[in-house]
Amino acid sequence: MLLYTFRRLGLAVLIVCLAMLLLLAAIHMVPGDPAGIALGPRATPEMREAFKAKMGLDQPFVVQYVNFLTNVVTGDLGVDVWSNRPVSTMIGEQLPHTIALAIAGLGWSIMIGIPLGCFSAVHRNSWIDKLTGVLSVGCIAIPSFIVGLYALLLFAVNLRWFPAIGAGENGDLGDQAMHLVLPGLAVGLGWVGYLARFVRTSMLEVLGENHIRMARAYGLPRRRITYVYALKLAILPTIALLGVGVGGLISGAVFAEIIFARPGVGKMVVDAVNTRNYPIVMGGVLVTTMLFALSTLLSDLLAAWIDPRVRQGL
Amino acid sequence: MSGNEHVLDVRDLSVSFRTARGKVRALRHVDINVPRNKIVGIVGESGCGKSTLINTVLRLLAPNAVIEDGSEVIFQGDDVLKMSNSQLTDLRGQRISMVFQDPMTALNPVISIGTQMTDILYRQKIPMAQKRKRAADMLAQVGIPDAVRRLDDHPHQFSGGMRQRICIAMALMMNPSLLIADEPTTALDVTLEAQIIHLMKELREEFECSMLFVSHNLGLIAELCDEVIVMYAGEVVEQGEVHDLFHRAQHPYTRMLLECDPARIEETRQELPTISGSVPDLIDLPKGCIFSPRCPHRYEPCNESPPDHYAVSDQHSARCFLVRDGR
Ligand SMILES: Nc1ncnc2c1ncn2[C@@H]1O[C@H](COP(=O)(O)OP(=O)(O)OP(=O)(O)O)[C@@H](O)[C@H]1O
Ligand code: SF4
Ligand SMILES: [Mg+2]
C-alpha cells in the first residue's frame, strides 16, 4: 500500500508537470500580446520589451518552462499584473471558498445520488425507479446556472430560507455553511443525476453476482446485503468517477460563484482571462489542475483501501 | 410414508420463466422428497431444471420465474412457497443452507472471511469473540490450516479448493437441517473433488443433516448418495435407491446415461455421457412422452399421452410406458 501510495503520488506530480507544459504552450498560442494589453496602447516598444523581460516572456520556451517549474515548487506564482500582489496569496484567499463549494456540491450529490441509485437498483422497474430515472436525466440535462438562478429565486428571494449572495461572515462557520447550501446544490445537482444512474448500473451488476445470491441463501438481512455486501463493490467505480468528476465540479463552480457573488478561484480566473492577467490565469488554472490531480489521487487511494484485492496486490 | 420422516417434500411443483419467446416450462409436476438424514442426488443433463428446483426450495428464483398454482414445497411441515419475507430470512442459512457450484465467485471479494462467516450468526445474540471462535472452529473442521489467523483474510487469498471448503463451513455455521449442494465440485479438479466429497461424507456423520446433492457426475452420486432422482427436461423420469437405480435402471434415459460405460459406475470420475439428440424446447413441448424424440424404445403409446410414474418396486419408480406394460 505504501509503495502504491508513492507510485500514485509520482503519477499525480507527473500529471501536474504535463499540465503546466500544456498551460504554458496554450498561453503562447492565445492571440494578443500580453505586454501590449498590460501596458495599454500608448506604451512604447521599449516599455513592452522591458515588461516582457521582467515577466520572462523573452526567454526560450524551455527556459520559461523550467523557471515555471522551479517557481511553482518554491510557491512563487508571480505577481498580479495590476496590483503587484503575489498570485499565491491571492489564490490562497480564494481557494478555501472554492474547495468548500466543491465539497458542498459533492456532498449534495453523494447524499442524494448514491442512496437514490441503490434504491433504484433494489426496486428496479418499479414506478419509483422509473421516476428517479426521469428525474436523474433531468438533473443531468439542466445546466447548473439555471439551477442556481431558480434556487436563488425560490429559496433565497421568495422563501428566504437561505442567504442569497456572498460567502458569509468571516469566522462564522454556521453562516458560511448556510451560504454554501444553495451554490452547492447548483453545482451538485447535475451530479446527483449522474451518480444515481451510475450507482444504479453498477449496483445492478453487483446484485446479479453469485456471492449476493449466496448471501441471500444464508438469510442475511436485505439491508446488510444491499448497503454492505453490494454497495462496497458497487461504490468502487463510482469513487473513480467522482475522482475525475471533481475537476468538472470545480469548473462548473464558476457559474455558481458568479450567480451567488461568491469569491472563488473560478471567478478570479474568468476575470483575469478577460484582462489577460497571465500570472493569475496560470496560477488559477494550475491550482485547479492540482486539485484535480489530488482528487483522482485520493479517489484511487480510497478505492485501494476499500478493495483488498488491490490493496494487498500492491 | 408419513411426512414426518421427510425433511423436504416437493409436491407437484411447476415453475416457468417468462421470456420474450414465450413461457419456458422449466419444471413440470415435480414430486420429490428428502428423507431425514439421507443424501439425495439429482442427476440430469444441463438445462434439465436442477438449479431451478433447488432455487425454488430457497425461493431464490430469477424475477421472471412463475411458480404455478398447486405447487407445494413442504419443509419440516411448513410450505416454503407461502412464507413471508421474514420467514424466508429465518429459513435461509439457518434451517436450509446451500453450497454453490463456483467457489471462485461465491464469496464476497471485499469482505473478510471472518466477517462473512460471523454475519451468518447475526441471529444469535452472543458476543463477537464467541462468534469468531465458532467461525474459526468451523474453518478448522473443514480443513483450513491456521484458521484463527486466516479469519481476517479475504477470499482472493485462498485457492479454489479452500474456498469451497470455506463455503461448506459457512453453510454449516447454523447447523441446518438440510444442506443443498448445487454441483459443488464441478469447478474443481479431480483430486480436489475427491477431497471435498470425502469432507462432505465426514461432515454428514458429524452434523446429521440431510443433503440434496446436485451433480452431473454419476460416479459421485453413486459414491455419496442414498437415493437418486433422474431429471430430464424439467421432469423427474426415474427415482429410487442408489443401488436399485444403478443396477436395475428402467427408464431408457437413465439406462443411456449408465450404458455409455457400465464399468465406470464404480469409478469416482465420470462425466455425464453425451446422448444423441438434444433436450426438447421447453416452450413447445412434445405431446406424448417427453423423451420420445430421442428414445430408441419408442412405441405406439409414447406419442399419444405422457406416461405416469409407474412403480418398479417399493422405493423405485420410472416414468415410462415400458414399466407399465412390463416390456
Ligand atoms: N431466468 C431464466 N429465464 C429464462 N429461462 C431460464 C431462466 N433460468 C433458467 N432458465 C431455463 O430453464 C431451464 C432449466 O435451467 P436450470 O438452470 O435449472 O438447469 P440445470 O439443470 O441447473 O442446468 P446446469 O446443469 O447447466 O446447471 C433451462 O432451459 C434454462 O435455459
Ligand atoms: S415412454 Fe416411450 S418414449 Fe418415453 S421413455 Fe418410455 S419408451 Fe421411451
Ligand atoms: Mg445448474
pLDDT at B199: 85
Mutate: best of A124, A129, A218, partner B, most B CBs <10 A = A218
Q: What is the pLDDT of residue A38?
A: 63
Does the pLDDT of residue B84 top 90, yes or no? Answer: yes
At B268, the pLDDT band (50, 70, 90 cuts) reads very low
Interface predicted TM-score (ipTM): 0.84
- In this predicted structure, the answer to whether residue B260 has a pLDDT above a threshold of 90 is no
Q: Is A162 left (phi over 0), alpha (psi -120 to 50) or beta?
A: beta
Closest residue in A to B157 (Cα) is A309
Residue identifier of the C-alpha nearest atom 14 of ligand 1: B49
Report how many helices (DSSP H) and strands (DSSP E) chain A contains, helices first: 14, 0
User: Is pLDDT at B271 greater than 70 in this prediction?
Assistant: no
**What letter represents residue B202's amino acid?**
E
| Whole-number Å distance between alpha carbons of A201 and A137 | 14
According to DSSP, residue A244 is labeled: H
Q: How far apart are CA A83 and CA A138, in angstroms?
A: 44
Name which of B237, B256, B255 is nearest B316 in CA terms.
Answer: B237
Residue nearest to atom 31 of ligand 1 (CA): B47
Residues of A in contact with B94 (CB under 8 A): 219
Confidence (pLDDT) at B211: 92
Q: For chain A, give the mean pLDDT.
A: 82
B97–A233 C-beta distance less than 8 A: no
Residue B270 clears pLDDT 70, i.e. is over it? no
Listed ranges A54-63, A82-91, B242-251; the one with the highest mean pLDDT: B242-251
Q: What is the mean pLDDT of residues A278-282?
A: 80
Residue B17 C-alpha from the chain's centroid: 19
Q: Does any CB of chain A come closer than 8 Å to the CB of residue B170? A: yes
pLDDT digits (tens, 9 = 90+) for B185-225: 887 788 888 888 888 888 888 888 899 999 888 888 888 89
pLDDT score for A168: 67
Per cent of chain A over pLDDT 70 is: 92
Nearest alpha carbon to residue B237 among B8, B92, B28: B28
Contact B106 A217 (CB under 8 A): no
pLDDT of residue A109: 87
Residue B82 pLDDT > 60, yes or no? yes
pLDDT of residue B116: 94
- Residue A78: is its pLDDT beyond 80? no
Q: Is the pLDDT of residue B3 over 50?
A: no
Facing A219 at nearest CB: one of B92, B100, B107: B92
List ligand 1's pocket residues with C-beta within 6 A. B 17, 19, 24, 26, 44, 46-52, 62, 64, 282
CA dist., res. A8 & res. A10, Å (int):
5
Cα–Cα distance, B166 to B178 (Å, whole number): 18
Q: Is the pLDDT of residue A255 over 70?
A: yes
Tell me the pLDDT band of B5, cut-offs 50, 70 and 90. Answer: confident
Of chain B, the percentage scoring pLDDT greater than 90 comes to 53
Tell me the pLDDT band of B43, cut-offs 50, 70 and 90. very high
Sign (positive/negative) of CA torsion B218, B220, B222, B224? negative
Tell me how far apart the alpha carbons of residues A291 and A286 are, in angstroms, rounded to a whole number.
9
Give me the mean pLDDT over the A89-103 stretch: 85
pLDDT of res. A140: 78
CATH topology of domain B3-95+174-324: Rossmann fold (3.40.50)
**pLDDT, position B266:** 47
> In chain A, pLDDT over 90 holds for what percent of residues?
9
Question: What is the model's pLDDT at position A89?
Answer: 85
Atom of ligand 1 nearest to the CA of B24: 5
| Contact status of A209 with chain B (Cβ, < 8 Å) | yes
Mean of per-residue pLDDT scores for chain B? 88
pLDDT at B265: 45
pLDDT confidence of A103, banded at 50, 70, 90? confident
Among the ranges given (A190-194, A201-205, B27-31), the one the predictor scored with the smallest mean pLDDT: A190-194
| B175 reaches A (C-beta below 8 A) | no
Around ligand 2, the residues with Cβ closer than 6 Å are: B 251-252, 289, 291-292, 295, 297-298, 302, 307, 320-322
Spatial CA neighbour of B221 closest among B59, B61, B90, B42: B42
**Pairwise pLDDT comparison (B266 vs B118), residue with the higher score:** B118
C-alpha span between A156 and A163 (Å, rounded):
6
* pLDDT for res B275: 67
Query: Is A220 at the interface with chain B, CB within 8 A?
Result: yes
d(CA B25, ligand 1 centre) in Å = 10
User: Which residues make up the CATH 3.40.50.300 domain(s) of chain B?
Assistant: 3-95+174-324
- Chain B closest CA to A69's CA: distance in Å? 41
CA of B214 to the centre of ligand 3 (A): 8
Q: Give the mean pLDDT of B22-27.
A: 93
Q: Is pLDDT of A300 > 60?
A: yes
Ligand 2 atom nearest to CA at B251: 5
Indicate the fold that domain A98-263 takes in CATH.
MetI-like fold (1.10.3720)
Lowest mean pLDDT among A4-8, A10-14, A197-201: A4-8
Q: Does the pLDDT at position A41 exceed 50? A: yes
- Rounded to a whole number, what is the distance in Å from the CA of B6 to chain A's nearest CA? 21
What average pLDDT score do residues B291-319 get?
Answer: 91
Q: Is A44 on the interface with B (CB under 8 A)?
A: no
Q: Closest-CA residue in chain B for A209?
A: B105
Q: Above 60 in pLDDT, residue B21?
A: yes
Alpha-carbon dihedral sign for residues B313, B316, B321, B322: negative
**pLDDT exceeds 80 at position B15:** yes
Q: Closest chain B residue to A310 measured between Cα atoms?
A: B110
Q: Is B119 on the interface with A (CB under 8 A)?
A: yes
Number of A:B CB contacts under 8 A?
81
